[in-house]
C-alpha cells in the first residue's frame, strides 16, 4: 500500500508555485503503512491437577461463572487482566471440567501494531533514481502484553494469593531486525 501524503510542492495545496530546487526537497514524499489489529485469543483455563484419571498434564477447570476483564495496573507486578478468579474450580474426581477455551468474554489482550515507511524518490535520469527511505517498526511504540497466567491454584490458607489472571510481561517494545 503506498500513499502519497505530501500536500507540499508543485500542483499541491501548499507551495504550488515553488521553484524546482525547493520542490525537490518538500514535494513527493510517500508513506507506506502496515497496520495490524487483532483481537485477543480465547484463553483456556486449566486445573491444577488431573482429576480425570487420564494422566494428562492438567485438565480443564470447572467454570462457575464468567470473570470480567479489568485491565488494572498492579505496581511492580504488571496487570491484573481479569478478576473473579474464584469462578474457577478443579473438576470433581473422575470428570473433565466444563470450561471451554472459547469461554465468552475471556480473551487475551489485543494486538495493535503500526509499521511504516517514509520515502522520497529523487530522479537522477530517466532510468535511475535515488531514494531516501526510513522505516519505523512499531512506530507508536504500543505495548504488546503477553497472555495472563491461566493456571488454577486452589485457595490455601496462609499462602500467597493465586497469580491467575495476572500479566507480568510484555513483548519487547521495538522489534529488532537481525541481518544474516
Q: Model confidence over 37-56: pLDDT tens digits?
A: 998 888 877 766 666 666 66
Does 156 score more than 70 pLDDT?
A: no
Q: How many CB atoms lie within 10 A of CB 47?
A: 24
Does 5 score more than 60 pLDDT?
A: no
**Are residues 27 and 6 in contact, defined by beta-carbon separation less than 8 angstroms?**
yes
Q: How far is CA 19 from CA 124, 161, 179, in A?
A: 18, 70, 41
The pLDDT confidence band at residue 179, using thresholds 50, 70 and 90, is very low
Which has the higher per-residue pLDDT, 101 or 146? Answer: 146
Q: How far is CA 2 from CA 14, 113, 127, in A?
A: 21, 18, 21
The pLDDT confidence band at residue 128, using thresholds 50, 70 and 90, is very high
Amino acid at each position: 500500500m503506498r500513499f502519497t501524503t505530501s500536500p507540499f510542492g508543485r500542483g499541491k495545496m501548499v507551495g504550488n508555485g515553488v521553484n524546482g530546487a525547493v520542490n525537490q526537497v518538500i514535494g513527493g514524499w510517500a508513506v507506506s503503512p502496515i497496520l495490524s489489529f487483532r483481537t485477543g485469543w480465547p484463553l483456556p483455563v486449566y486445573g491444577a491437577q488431573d482429576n480425570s484419571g487420564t494422566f494428562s498434564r492438567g485438565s480443564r477447570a470447572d467454570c462457575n461463572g464468567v470473570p470480567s476483564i479489568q485491565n488494572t495496573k498492579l505496581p511492580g507486578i504488571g496487570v491484573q487482566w481479569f478478576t473473579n478468579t474464584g469462578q474457577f474450580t478443579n473438576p470433581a474426581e473422575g470428570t473433565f471440567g466444563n470450561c471451554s477455551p472459547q469461554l465468552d468474554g475471556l480473551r487475551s489482550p489485543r494486538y495493535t501494531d503500526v509499521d511504516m515507511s517514509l520515502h522520497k524518490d529523487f530522479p537522477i535520469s530517466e532510468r535511475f533514481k535515488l531514494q531516501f527511505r526510513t522505516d519505523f517498526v512499531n512506530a507508536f511504540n504500543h505495548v504488546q502484553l503477553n497472555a495472563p497466567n491461566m493456571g488454577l491454584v486452589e485457595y490455601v490458607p496462609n499462602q500467597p494469593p493465586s497469580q491467575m489472571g495476572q500479566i507480568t510481561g510484555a513483548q519487547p517494545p521495538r522489534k529488532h531486525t537481525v541481518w544474516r
